[in-house]
Amino acid sequence: MTDYLHLGAAALPALAALLARPGTTRVAVLADTNTARLCYPALQPHLPAGHRLIEIPAGEEYKTLATCELVWNELTEHGFDRHSVLVCLGGGVVTDLGGFCAALYKRGLRCVLVPTTLLAQVDAAVGGKTGVDYHGLKNHLGVFQLPEAVCIDTRFLSTLDPRELRAGYAEVVKHWLIADAEAFQTGRREGMFVEDWMPTVAASVAVKQRIVQEDPTERGPRKLLNFGHTVGHALESYLLLQGRSILHGEAVAAGLVCEAWLSVQKGLLAPEALDQIETFLFSVFEKVQFIGLETDAIAELARQDKKNQGDTINCTLLRGIGQGVYDQPVTVAELAASLRYYHRLPA
Ligand SMILES: NC(=O)c1ccc[n+]([C@@H]2O[C@H](COP(=O)([O-])OP(=O)(O)OC[C@H]3O[C@@H](n4cnc5c(N)ncnc54)[C@H](O)[C@@H]3O)[C@@H](O)[C@H]2O)c1
Ligand SMILES: O=C(O)C(=O)C[C@@H](O)[C@H](O)[C@H](O)COP(=O)(O)O
Ligand SMILES: [Zn+2]
């Protein structure tokens, strides 16, 4: 299963080799308006002549079925068959949506992901979760479908906005908190900005890949990767539905604090560990803004979380730094209390 991951300078030549395979009928590159401008030029030398560029608008608000229709129309109009390849060039929105479009088109078009944000390189492009948002609910429609290959080249990160880089870092920290205490302590000491992202990306991909290999369809341990997301997705959906600005990684960073606090309330995590997590996260992220009166409505959205069973909201918590624990029942009231705790923290 790890054969499908290509990291570093060899990643784009691996893509070229794959696209040159006999029997490949057509190639399309799916990009958003930003990656078409900033990343596509570097990809072009590795693409066959005659490929098509399909461009979609950038942003989470376009991670919808309506955008999928645009993609499916293009593929249909230009005669793409199951031996054609869709190369998804972008952040998590492009890789989630493109992977979903490829999985459904004629029940399976060949698909390769070329992630261009830190978030997509360490998380979204790895592990086969694809999907789109539906009526504001995060990834409400989707399928598990591994791509044929994921080609990760950290040189793409050079044009990324610092806010987007930070958003991706939230998922890096999540991986440390659920599985790598030593990396968390090193990260805390050294701070976020590094010259070369490759070692951080490779280590983070390794954590995710190990967990996904054990449980590809999230029956058990894969739920660890959802730490921070019960609250994070509720907060992200709530703010997006209101047209307020929030990035997935920013919502996850807030969710990490809330769910670490819940871990303390449940007697699983030491208060000193929460203190370390909070201090570190607030050294990187600004507080997500909402008012105290909104906490109940935000927490209510967790009833739609995919880890739930019946009326039970199952959260992933920590029993120590580097030790995630999944299937921990929580109530909407407890989630709302965690949001109130977060809201009261100094800005
Ligand atoms: N499938 C999974 O396992 C998984 C995991 C984590 C997150 N996600 C999903 O990923 C999405 C978030 O991904 P994201 O943070 O990458 O957001 P994104 O795809 O919206 O990209 C962020 C912004 O950066 C721009 N961009 C991308 N690459 C660039 C580059 N190299 N230089 C300059 N600009 C660039 C994009 O155009 C966009 O405006 C969410 O929808 C989230 O639900 C999925
Ligand atoms: O890969 C996983 O599994 C994750 O949970 C990774 C998350 O960072 C990611 O945001 C994922 O898309 C969330 O999945 P969902 O099933 O909660 O929608
Ligand atoms: Zn996430």
Burial of 279 (0-12, 13-18, 19+ CB in 10 A): exposed
Section 149-173 average pLDDT: 98
CB 101 within 8 A of CB 90: no
CA 203 to chain centre: 16
Measured in whole angstroms, how far is the alpha carbon of residue 193 from the centre of its chain? Answer: 20
pLDDT at site 280: 97
**Minimum-distance ligand to the CA of 133?**
1
Q: Which fold has domain 164-344?
A: Dehydroquinate synthase-like, alpha domain (1.20.1090)
- Residue 12's nearest CA partner among 85, 118, 101, 112 is 112
Q: Say yes or no to pLDDT of 1 above 70.
A: no
Determine the distance separating the centroid of ligand 1 and the alpha carbon of 67, expressed in angstroms.
Answer: 15
pLDDT of residue 118: 98
Q: Among 3.30.200.20, 3.40.50.1970, 3.30.70.270, 3.40.50.2000, name the CATH number for the domain at 2-159.
A: 3.40.50.1970
Provide the pLDDT for residue 193. 81
Kindly state the tokens that stand for 277.
């997590």
The per-residue pLDDT for 282 is 97
> For the chain, what is the radius of gyration of the CA atoms?
20
Whether the predicted model's global pTM rises above the 0.90 cut: yes
The SS3 assignment for 138 reads: strand
Q: How many CA atoms lie within 13 A of 152 on its CB side?
A: 26
Tokens (6 digits) for 329: 């029942």
pLDDT band at 54 (very low <50, low <70, confident <90, very high): very high
Burial class for 308, CB neighbours closer than 10 Å (0-12, 13-18, 19+): middle
Return the amino acid letter for 103: A
Least confident of 66-70, 150-154, 193-197: 193-197
Rounded to the nearest angstrom, the distance between the alpha carbon of 147 and the centre of ligand 3 is 18
Residues having CB closer than 6 A to ligand 2 are: 123, 127, 129, 138-139, 171, 218, 222, 225-226, 229, 233, 306
127 Cβ inside 6 Å of ligand 1: yes
Rounded Cα distance, 48 and 257, in Å: 46
Which amino acid appears at position 318 of this protein?
L
Distance CA 229, CA 251 (A): 8
Which residues form the catalytic set? 107, 129, 171, 208, 218, 222, 226, 229, 233, 248
Evaluate: CB of 31 within 6 angstroms of ligand 1: no
How many other CB atoms are found less than 10 A from the CB of residue 337? Answer: 18
Distance in angstroms (rounded) separating the CA atoms of residues 303 and 331: 9
Spatial distance between the Cα atoms of 303 and 179, rounded to a whole number of angstroms: 26
Span 300-317, pLDDT tens digits? 999 999 999 999 999 999
Domains 2-159 and 164-344 share a fold: no
Residue 199: its pLDDT value, please?
A: 97
Cα of 54 from ligand 2 centre, angstroms: 26
Nearest ligand, measured from the Cα of 247: 1
The pLDDT of 258-287, averaged and rounded, is: 98
Q: Mean pLDDT of all residues in the chain?
A: 97
Cα→Cα distances 56→30, 62, 88, 92, 168, Å? 8, 8, 11, 13, 21
All structural domains of the chain with their residue ranges: 2-159, 164-344
Both structure tokens of 166: 């930070």
For a pocket test of ligand 2, which of 123, 215, 240, 314 has the largest count of ligand atoms closer than 8 A to its C-beta?
A: 123
Residue closest via CA to ligand 1's atom 12 equals 92
Task: Give the integer Cα–Cα distance in Å for 143 and 131.
Answer: 6
At 92 the pLDDT is 99
Handedness of CA 150, 133, 347, 164 (dihedral sign): positive
- State in Å, rounded, how far the first CA of the chain is from the last one: 43
pLDDT at 347: 80
Quickly count helices (H) and strands (E) in the chain. 14, 10
**Interface predicted TM-score (ipTM) over 0.85:** yes
Give me the pLDDT at residue 229, please. 98
Question: Which residue has tokens 């429609």?
Answer: 141
CA 337 to chain centre: 26
pLDDT per residue as tens digits for the range 184-207: 999 999 999 888 999 999 999 999
Residue-level length of the chain = 347
Nearest to 317 by CA among 258, 233, 272, 277: 258
- Give the pLDDT band of residue 158 (cuts 50, 70, 90): very high
- Separation of alpha carbons 193 and 198, rounded Å: 12
